Amino acid sequence: MIKTILSAIILLLLCFQLNAQELIKKHTPLKSITTVWDLDKANKQGTFKITAYKPIYFAASRWSDSPNRLPYSENADYTVTDEIDYNSFEMKFQLSFKTKLAESILFGEGDLWVGYTQIAHWQIYNTDISRAFRELNYEPELILTYPLNLSFAGFTIKMASVSFNHQSNGRDLPRSRSWNRVMFNIAMERKNLTVFVKPWIRLPDAEDENPLITSYVGNGSVTAIYKLRKHTFYAIATNSFSFKDNRGSLQFNYLYPINDNLNLHAQFFTGYGETLIDYNHYQNTIGLGVSFSTW
C-alpha cells in the first residue's frame, strides 16, 4: 500500500517538474463570479450548457487520524453496532457540475440552475473489505441566482442566490444519512479574492437520521478563494454559530499548476462532517492528488 502511494506521489512530482518552467511566467487570474455564473446580461451563454460547479479533484491518498469505524446517530435506529476495520489511508474524489435551466427570469435578471455534486471516499487500499467505497455523498441542488453590483467593505457584491439542497449517502439502515436545506448565498470579490457567504436553514424531516447534524456540521459556511500568481488557495469553513458547544469544520486547499488544465492539489480538513456518515465524528485528514477544475 505504501509503495503504491509513494509511486503516485512521485509521478505527480515528476509531472510538476516537467511543466513548472513553462508555467513560471504565466499568471492565470481568478475566475470572476460574473463569468462563472453567467451574470452579464448582454452576453448570456444560454441554457443546458454543462459547466463545473464546485472543484473537481482526485486525491490518490487521503489519511485520517481517526477513521470512523463505528458510526452512530442520536437516533438509535441509525447507530452502527458492527465495527468495520477501515484503513487510515483511502482515495477521495469530488465531481461537480451545473447547468442553467432558464435565464432572464425574475424581472428579466435572474437565472435558474441545477447543480450536482458527488463526493466519494474509497477504501481502495483495503483488501480485507474488497476495496469497497466507504462513503458516497450525493448532492443535487436547485439554484436561483440574481446579479448585483453593490459595494461593501472594499468588496463588490456580484450575486445573491437561494437554493434547495438535498444531500444523502444512499445507504440502508443503520448507515443511511440525509438532510434537506434551503441555502442562501452572497458572492463577492475584490481583486484576487472571492468570498461566498452561505447560511442555511435545515428543513424538518419526519424520519430524522441525523437529529443534531446542524450542531456539528453547522448552520452555514464561508468559502474564500485567493489567487497569488501561480498559487491558488481556498478554504471552506462551517460553524454552528452557537456560543455553547461551538462546532464546525475547516477545509484548506492549495493548488499549483502542472499544466493549463491540471493542478497539484493538497487538502487539509479538521472538524466534523467531512462526509455525512461522519457528521458527528471529529477527525483531521490530509490528502494529496490532482485538481481538474477549481472555483
Compute, in degrees rounded to 10, the torsion defined by CA atoms 68, 73, 76, 78.
-70
Distance (Å, whole) CA 289 – CA 268: 12
Query: What is the sign of the dihedral through the CA atoms of 283, 201, 157 and 101?
Result: positive
Compute, in degrees rounded to 10, the torsion defined by CA atoms 126, 132, 135, 141.
140
Residue whose C-alpha cell is 455523498:
137
Q: Is 271 helix (H, G, I), strand (E, B) or coil?
A: strand
- Please tell me which residue in 66, 163, 166, 265 is annotated as part of the active site: 166
- Please tell me which residue in 61, 130, 168, 215 is annotated as part of the active site: 168
Known active-site residue 168: yes
Known active-site residue 166: yes
For residue 204, say if its preceding peptide bond is cis, omega within 30 degrees of 0.
no
H-state helical runs in 202-244:
213-216
- Cβ(210)–Cβ(177) under 8 Å? yes
Catalytic machinery residues: 166, 168
